[in-house]
Amino acid sequence: MRPVTGFLQRWSLFFGAVVLWELAARLAEDPFFPPPTTILQTAGQLWFSGPAGHLLLTGSVFNDILPSLGRVFGGWLIAVLVGVGLGTFLGRSKTGMDYVGPLFAFMRAVPPPTLVPVFLVLFSIGTPMKLATIVFGSVWPILLNTVDGVRSVSTTQRETAESFRTPKAYWVTMVVLPAALPKIFAGLRLSLSLALILMVVSEMVGATDGIGYQLIFAQQRFDFPAMWAWIVLLGVLGYGLNALLLAVERRMLDWQPTRGAARAQTTGA
Amino acid sequence: MATMLEVNGLNHRYGSGESEHVAVRDLTFTVETGQLACIVGPSGCGKSTLLRCISGLIRPSDGEVRLHGDEVDGVPEDLAVVFQDYSRSLFPWLSVRQNVEFPLRWKKLSRAERRERAVEALEWVGLPGVGNKYPWQLSGGMQQRVSIARALARRPALLLMDEPFASVDAQTRFELEDLLRTVQVKHGSTILLVTHDIDESVYLGDRVLVLSKSPASIVADLPVELPAERDQIATRASSAFVSMRSEVAKLLHGSGTAGPVTAEGAPAAEDAPEAEQARADLTEADAAEQANTAGEPASKPH
């Protein structure tokens, strides 16, 4: 019984809002604000009316959605590698952050979308430009959280590792990174949502395919139900990606006492 | 008996010039193989610095430390340290067994051998079957047993212990003291244990080294004339224990008042109640020291 009520509690407001939106849109009959049922219908036509051989998926799924997802994941993964790698190095070095701190503070203060024109000039229209935008915009939360996280290794933990003559590779992978992981994950979640935003922004400006391009294109040809369908899709993607990352996080941070307690509670229900 | 540890003219200073602080002054002593030696000293006297110099965690300003004849420069392969703060010393992201296996990972051991050693070490400390738990799921005393098991799993020639039982309750401390003696006798381990607790040093040790207040230097080196088999109630009540305890307390108290030992404090008054008082003072001051060291890492960039 508990899971059902829990689900209702969590989602009732959401469905209530959708119903209200439906009613309001039907009453207003405004072409700019189609009712959710129309948006869903359009979405079905856009993506799920393809041939049976393609699992009913249309060309748009393969030509727009998948490339966009590829850019998000590609850019985000690069940001993760750069952020965690550089962050670990800088965080454990005594003076590293003293040198690069002001530079980082300046660079991350620049709103990433404003750099799209710069990257457009540098890389012209294409995937590298989009990746550069995503990486540049989403690397900061990972980098700074990693720096913070790898510093959370306590003196006793450091001395313990030292007293066992822990080789560098074990020290980093078995002590420093696990200690930093809770903070790193906080950065990862923030940066993943940034990556999604920047993917759309970069596609709106310079692209011939992708979710952002289709969104702008639908608006320009006054196809508002399609425009809304793309917006809803972005919401669904953002929600799904975050849920996926949360699941990974829960698995990897299983050792934390508070999480273990929370899990014991949920399994006890 | 062979000599396991030789400390010769050890000095350690922090800082330089005006802010120079001498933590350890001209320490010389040896520990024989198979001996359990206790170093007891007032708080802030440089006990922890001394232990870190011996373990090679910090390089002493002067003097040398030799472990079975080899000069210590960096932490030796066959040395293990047990710290006071077990909750920070155990890695919370590793299970108990993984924690015990941790220092064996870069030894030439197969996975099965490594696991076997960890299981065995956990049995030595009376913790079979908790390998898959995380440290936070165990009580404080059990956590400290795990860190002792982790040190023993490395089969160290010398085991250094820095106030290992200072953070557990009295009942648990008694249990752990007896456990340590049992393990030490059974495996013939050589142990050097640092404590501020006079009773503990006398109860545990084959020998007690009494340190002066800062800078630490040795005031006395006393053999403990107690039977090898010790009992928390009978031993502590025995006259040999009581007289040794007050002797150590007297030495510590004497070094606690500034300057050389004088006729200050009539010897007659220096019996058990006063020794209790001295111990209470030490404990109090030690808490202050711990509060200091706890604040230290924040101000020190790593």
**pLDDT tens digits, A122-174:** 888 888 899 999 999 999 999 999 999 999 899 899 999 999 999 999 999 99
Instruction: Return d(Cα A157, Cα B297) in angstroms, integer.
Output: 12
Higher pLDDT, A82 or A258: A82
Q: Which residues pair with B190 in a beta bridge?
A: B158
Q: Which residues of A touch B134 (CB under 8 A)?
A: 255, 257, 260
* Cβ–Cβ under 8 Å, residues B157 and B4: yes
Q: Which residues pair with B82 in a beta bridge?
A: B161
Tell me the residue type at B110.
Answer: S
CA quadruple B110, B111, B116, B122: dihedral positive or negative? positive
Q: Which residues contact B74 (CB under 8 A, 6 or more apart)?
A: A165, B56
**What is residue B87's predicted lDDT score, i.e. its pLDDT?**
85
Instruction: Return d(Cα A225, Cα A232) in angstroms, integer.
Output: 10
Radius of gyration over alpha carbons of chain A, in Å?
A: 23
Higher pLDDT, A113 or A236: A236
Instruction: Return d(Cα A48, Cα A255) in angstroms, integer.
Output: 42
DSSP label of A171: I
CB contact under 8 A, A163 and B297: no
Instruction: Answer whether residue A26 is part of any domain.
Output: no
| CA B93, chain centre distance (Å) | 26
Largest CA distance in chain A: 74
Check if A94 contacts B (Cβ < 8 Å). Answer: yes
Does A52 have pLDDT greater than 80? no
CB contact under 8 A, A165 and B154: no
The burial of B97, by beta-carbon neighbours within 10 Å (0-12 exposed, 13-18 middle, 19 or more buried), is given as buried
Q: Which residues pair with B272 in a beta bridge?
A: none
Compute how many other C-beta atoms are within 10 angstroms of the C-beta atom of residue A91.
24
Residue from the list A158, A164, A255 with its beta carbon closest to the beta carbon of B134:
A255
Check if A259 contacts B (Cβ < 8 Å). Answer: no
| Candidates A159, A168, A175, partner chain B, best to mutate (most B CBs within 10 A) | A159
pLDDT in tens, A83-109: 999 999 999 988 888 889 899 989 888
Tell me the residue type at A133.
Answer: T
| Structure tokens that stand for A243 in this block | 């849920």
Least confident stretch, B27-36, B39-48, B58-67, B129-138: B39-48
Kindly list the structural domains of chain B, giving each domain's residue range(s) and its CATH number in brackets, ordered by start.
3-78+156-299 (3.40.50.300)
Instruction: Answer whether residue A199 is part of any domain.
Output: yes
Compute how many other C-beta atoms are within 10 angstroms of the C-beta atom of residue B214.
19
Residue A165 Cα, gap to closest chain B Cα (Å): 7
Residue from the list A154, A175, A181 with its beta carbon closest to the beta carbon of B297:
A154
Instruction: Answer whether residue A236 is part of any domain.
Output: no
Helix (H) or strand (E) holding A103: helix A96-109
CB contact under 8 A, A164 and B89: no
Q: Which residues of A touch B133 (CB under 8 A)?
A: none
Q: Which residues pair with B223 in a beta bridge?
A: B207
Instruction: Answer whether residue A6 is part of any domain.
Output: no
What order of strands is seen across the sheet that includes strand B21-32? Answer: B21-32, B3-14, B62-67, B70-71
Does B225 have pLDDT greater than 50? yes
Compute how many other C-beta atoms are within 10 angstroms of the C-beta atom of residue A14.
9
Alpha carbon of B294 to those of A190, B83, B194: distances in Å? 32, 14, 19
Residue from the list A92, A167, A255 with its beta carbon closest to the beta carbon of B92:
A255
CB contact under 8 A, B75 and A179: no
The burial of B150, by beta-carbon neighbours within 10 Å (0-12 exposed, 13-18 middle, 19 or more buried), is given as buried
Instruction: Answer whether residue A8 is part of any domain.
Output: no
Domain count of chain A? Answer: 1
Please report, for the domain that includes residue A65, its CATH number. Answer: 1.10.3720.10
CA quadruple A116, A119, A124, A129: dihedral positive or negative? negative
DSSP label of A124: -
Instruction: Answer whether residue A105 is part of any domain.
Output: yes
Instruction: Answer whether residue A150 is part of any domain.
Output: yes
CB contact under 8 A, B103 and A158: no
Instruction: Return d(Cα B92, Cα A255) in angstroms, integer.
Output: 7
What mean pLDDT do residues B49-65 have?
87
Model confidence at A82, pLDDT cuts 50, 70, 90, reads very high
Compute how many other C-beta atoms are within 10 angstroms of the C-beta atom of residue B297.
15
Check if A164 contacts B (Cβ < 8 Å). Answer: yes
SS3 A77: helix
Does A269 have pLDDT greater than 80? no
Residue A157 Cα, gap to closest chain B Cα (Å): 5
CB contact under 8 A, A165 and B55: no
CB contact under 8 A, A163 and B75: yes
Instruction: Return d(Cα A153, Cα B87) in angstroms, integer.
Output: 13
Does A111 have pLDDT greater than 80? yes
Domain coverage including residue A200: 61-211
Q: What is the dihedral of CA B102, B106, B108, B110, to 10 degrees?
A: 50
Instruction: Answer whether residue A252 is part of any domain.
Output: no
